[in-house]
Amino acid sequence: MNTFAASMDRFRFGPRQVARLGIVLGILAFFFALPPIEARAYVVPLLVGLLGAACGIWAVTRGVGRIAWGAVTVGVLGIVLGVLATRSSGTHLHIVVSWGALVASTLVWATPLTFAAIGGMFSERSGVVNIGLEGMMLSGAFFGVLGADKFNSWAMGILVAAVAGGCFALLHAFFAIQLRADQIVGGTAINFLALGVTGYFFIQVYGDVGSPGNLPRIPNVNIPGLKHVTFLGDAFGQLNLMVWLSFVLLIVAHVVMFKTPIGLRIRAVGEHPRAAETVGISVYLIRYASVTLSGVLAALGGAYLAVGFVGSFNENMTAGRGFIALAALIFGNWRPFGAFAAALLFGASTALSFRLATYSDSAAVLFQALPYVLTLIAVAGVIGRSVPPASVGRPYSKQ
């Protein structure tokens, strides 16, 4: 009887669920105005969105924090965007919103962010701030291209990228852990160092010609049966190998971080290193390993960008994606799935910004500021607050 009550309790329709429903309604409000449904009357998104926002407000009054405010925001956004969509011309809508392509494009832009953000999670969960993600990603992009070119194999490209990213991360770890240098200064230095090193060797090796056009690329995974299915075919039929790997990484990272002793140790070292040391965990070892892993993963993200997606390298090609990954990590509250969700959101905003150019060039550019504004709001704690690991950024000295 008791177990039955408990199981019923799990499916109880409480304020939290109402808030989630509100978010769904907010999204639907916008969705109804888009193809294939494409409601042309502005009442439709207005009503659905209002319902969603109402759910959110109700949940707020019942003391649900972050999700409820999220529902209110999503509801209002759904109304605004939905009404805008009903007023825009149908042809424009069809160019911007082709769902399959949009999902595929979102995943393409989200993948480098996912790799780097999950890498950053390992580093920061172990207590070392990693502002240098950008640089490690950039080094992965260049050395990935160099490796793929010189060994004539994309697999070697990935390997070389991982090693290079690991080296930069090891340097950061040495200064941050061993020398107890300021981790933010160190990370900034890593960014500049990677920018300088990749730029220098790019010109030294490839001169003015640029990287070769016949670079071996990371292959796409063609799923035979899926090709002619309407939506799924466009979205998942031809994704790059690294995109699928990022899904695997996501699950592995979650399991390792929250279900294994290793993850417990990493989190312990990041929250309270002295206590961890007391029970026999080597703080230095865990931090070294975590930071190095973060560099390897960030470099894989960069390698995907250069060897998998673009197929070439140019100077400073990551162009701030490492910082967006950092933002995704913070926005996702230092959790793998949170970071992934944020990476998807930011990836979608990038993918959309290219398509929004159909409406207006300048608005599409402005749209790219969105991830940073959202992150600013997240750290400001207007809608819930991102809470970092307690000891992140504090050098630890053994006693």
Shortest distance, position 189 Cβ to other proteins, whole Å: 4
Q: Give the separation between CA 344 and CA 348, rounded to whole angstroms.
A: 6
Check residue 150 for interaction with other proteins (CB under 8 A): no
Using CB under 8 A as the criterion, what x/- string covers residues 186-225 for binding other proteins?
x-xxxxxx-xxx-xxx-xx---------------------
Residue type, 167: C
Check residue 170 for interaction with other proteins (CB under 8 A): no
Check residue 182 for interaction with other proteins (CB under 8 A): yes
Residue type, 344: L
Across-strand partners of 240?
Answer: 220
Q: Give the separation between CA 89 and CA 297, rounded to whole angstroms.
A: 43
Q: Give the separation between CA 33 and CA 40, rounded to whole angstroms.
A: 7
- φ, ψ dihedrals at 213, nearest 5°: -75, -25
From 93, 104, 113, 131, residue interacting with other proteins (rule: CB under 8 A): 131
Using CB under 8 A as the criterion, what x/- string covers residues 254-273 for binding other proteins?
-----------------xx-
Check residue 330 for interaction with other proteins (CB under 8 A): yes
Shortest distance, position 175 Cβ to other proteins, whole Å: 5
Stretch that binds other proteins, among 136-144, 178-186, 220-228, 341-349 (CB under 8 A): 178-186
Check residue 9 for interaction with other proteins (CB under 8 A): no
CA distances from 354 to 105, 237, 348 (A): 10, 22, 10
Check residue 277 for interaction with other proteins (CB under 8 A): no
What one-character-per-residue DSSP string does 15-83 give? HHHHHHHHHHHHHHHHHHTSTTT----THHHHHHHHHHHHHHHHHHHTT--HHHHHHHHHHHHHHHHHH
Shortest distance, position 397 Cβ to other proteins, whole Å: 11
- Positions touching other proteins (CB under 8 A) are 129, 131, 171, 175, 179-186, 188-193, 195-197, 199-201, 203-204, 271-272, 320, 323, 326-327, 330, 360-363, 365-366, 368-369, 372-373, 375-376, 379-381, 385, 387-388, 390-394
